[in-house]
Amino acid sequence: MTQADTIAAIATPPGTGGIGIVRASGPGAERIARALFRPRNPADAFRSHRLAHGDIVCPSTGRVLDEVLAAFMRAPHSFTGEDTLEIHCHGGPLILEEVLLAVLRAGARPAEPGEFTRRAFLNGRLDLAQAEAVQEMITARSQRGLDLALGHLRGDLSRRIEELRASILDILTLLEAEIDFQEEDGVDAAPRDALLDRLRDITARIGALTATYGEGRMIRDGARVVITGKANVGKSSLFNRLLGEDRAIVTPHAGTTRDFIEEGASIRGIPVRYVDTAGIREAQDPAEKEGIDRVWQQAASADMVLILLDGSSPLTSEDRDILEANRERDVVVAVNKSDLPAALETETLPEAIAGREILRVSAKTGEGVAALRDAVYAAIGRTCGDGRAGAVLTNLRHKVALERAFASLRTAERGLSGGLSPEFAAFDLREALSALGEVTGQAITEEVLDRIFSTFCIGK
C-alpha cells in the first residue's frame, strides 16, 4: 500500500438507489478524469470543487457508460488531502460497477477498507481520533450517538487529549531542566509539593475522562435491559408491548420461553436492547434448567434489570430470590396484570427493594407501559448521562490508552513523593505522553493502523 497510488471505490452503499458515487483519490485523479469524462461545457469541467455535467465513457472504446455529474477537488482541499475525483452516477449496481471498472482501467487500483480515511489521517487532514469518529458517524444508532460522534469528528476529544498532553509536558520540562542542570550551582529543584499538586490534578482529569466510557458505550451501542421474573408473570407479553410488535411467543402455559430473546428499540434517542428471558422456577427438564441458568448470566451482565412481579398472586419464593439477587442493582420493578384483581400489596415487598418506585402495569392492555418506559429511561440516564457534557469516550482503544496513561502518572506521583530521582518520574511522564499520543495518532504503529481501518467499509 502506497500513497503514490491512485485508489478508487464505490462510495455509496450496495443496492439500487437514485444516485451512486464512485470516488478516486491520488496523484492520477485528474488524469483519470480527463480520460473518462466528456463534459457538456469543457470550460468549467475541471475547475476544483465544481460539479460538471457530462458523460462517462469507456476509455478503450469511447462507449458512453452513463450521464453523470463529476466533481474534481484539488489537493490539499479534499477529504483525503489528495487530488480527488467523484463521479455521481445513476444508482444501479451494474452502472456503478462499469464506471468503477473504467476508473480502474484508466490507472487506479481498488481501495482497501478505510483507505480514503487512512489517507486523510496520514496527510494530516484528521488526527486518529477524528478518523475513527468517521466510522462512529456512519454506524451511529441514535441521535445522541450521532451528536457525540460529530463532536469527536470536530475535535472535542482530541482537544481534551492535547490539553492533557500539554499539562504533562509542562511538568516534564521542569523535571528535565532539573535533571540537566542538577550539578550546576544556583539551579534549584522544582518545588515538589507544587509539582505533585499539578500531577494529581492531571491524573484526576484523566481518571474522570476514562470514567465516561460506560456512558459513551451505552450511547453508542445502547443499553441492554434484561426482563426477569418468575414463570408466567407476563415477561414475553411485556417484551412484545415494549417493542410494539409480537416478537416473542406468548401462551398461557408456564415455561414457554426456554432461551433468551433480544430485540432493539429506542427510548428518546437512546438505543435499548430488551432481553426476554425464561421464567425462574424449579426446572422441569434439562433444557429449561439451561434456560434458567442463562437468565442469571444475562442479568449479571445487563446494563439494567427490569424485574416483573405478578400483581394477581401473592409474592412467592421465586420472586424473593430474584429481588434479593438484584439487591445491589439499580433495577426497575414493575407489578404486572393490573387489569386483574390485585393480590400483591407493594407494602409487603421485601427489604431488598425498599425505597424504590414500584410501577403497576398491564402488558395485556398497555396500561402503565408509558410510565415504565420513562422509568427505564431514567434508570439508563443515571448511568448514561445526557451525552452533551463535553468529550465522552466511546472507543475501547481510547479507554485502554488512557488507563495506561493514568497508571504511569500514578507511578510518577509515587516516585516524586517518595523522594526518588527525577529521572524515574520523567520516564513515567514520557510513558503517559506516549499512551495519550496513541489516541490521536501521534504515537501509533502500522499494525494498529491496519487493525483500526480494516473495520471501515471499502468506500470510506
pLDDT digits (tens, 9 = 90+) for 397-427: 999 999 999 999 999 999 999 888 889 999 9
| Same domain flag for 196 and 54 | no
Question: Which residues in the chain land under pLDDT 70?
Answer: 1-3, 181-190, 245-259, 281-285, 287-292, 346-355, 383-390
Q: What is the CATH number of the domain that holds 309?
A: 3.40.50.300
* Residue 258 counted as domain residue: yes
| Same domain flag for 344 and 287 | yes
Q: Which domain holds residue 296?
A: 220-384
* Residue 134 counted as domain residue: no
Q: Which residues contact 6 (CB under 8 A, 6 or more apart)?
A: 24, 25, 26, 27, 28, 29, 32, 107, 108, 109
Q: Could you tell me which residues are beta bridge partners of residue 272?
A: 223, 265
Q: What is the pLDDT of residue 182?
A: 62
Calpha distance 217→222 (Å, rounded): 7
| Same domain flag for 206 and 237 | no
Q: What is the pLDDT of residue 380?
A: 80
Q: What is the CATH number of the domain that holds 115?
A: 3.30.1360.120
Calpha distance 372→149 (Å, rounded): 29
| Same domain flag for 237 and 367 | yes
| Same domain flag for 229 and 343 | yes
Q: What is the pLDDT of residue 384?
A: 59
Please tell me the pTM assigned to this model. Answer: 0.78
What is the b/e burial string over 164-181, where b = at least 16 CB atoms within 10 angstroms of the residue's CB?
A: bbebbeebbebbbebeee
**150: number of CA atoms within 13 Å, CB side?**
8
| Same domain flag for 122 and 13 | yes
pLDDT digits (tens, 9 = 90+) for 354-382: 667 788 999 889 999 999 988 888 888 77
* Residue 46 counted as domain residue: yes
Calpha distance 197→190 (Å, rounded): 12
Overall domain count for the chain:
3
Neighbour tally for 370: CB within 10 Å: 10
| Same domain flag for 233 and 304 | yes
Per the document, the length of the chain is 460
Q: Are 214 and 383 in contact (CB under 8 A)?
A: yes
pLDDT digits (tens, 9 = 90+) for 297-340: 777 777 888 889 988 888 888 888 888 888 777 788 889 998 88
Work out whether the CA dihedral 53, 59, 61, 65 comes out positive or negative: negative
Q: What is the pLDDT of residue 253?
A: 45
Q: Which amino acid is at 61?
A: T
| Same domain flag for 380 and 231 | yes
Q: Domain boundary at 384, 401, 433, which?
A: 384
> What is the chain's mean pLDDT, rounded?
86
Calpha distance 126→27 (Å, rounded): 20
* Residue 229 counted as domain residue: yes
Angle at 37 between CA 34 and CA 43, to 5 degrees: 75
Distances (CA, A) of 355 to 319, 327, 330: 17, 12, 12
Calpha distance 406→410 (Å, rounded): 6
| Same domain flag for 365 and 406 | no
Q: What is the pLDDT of residue 350?
A: 66
**CA nearest neighbour of 348 among 374, 325, 371, 320:** 320
| Same domain flag for 254 and 296 | yes
| Same domain flag for 228 and 339 | yes
Q: What is the pLDDT of residue 79?
A: 95
Q: What is the CATH number of the domain that holds 195?
A: 1.20.120.430
**Residue 18 has which C-alpha cell?**
437514485
Q: Domain boundary at 384, 416, 450, which?
A: 384
| Same domain flag for 231 and 371 | yes
Residue 355 burial by CB count (10 A; 0-12/13-18/19+): exposed, middle or buried? exposed
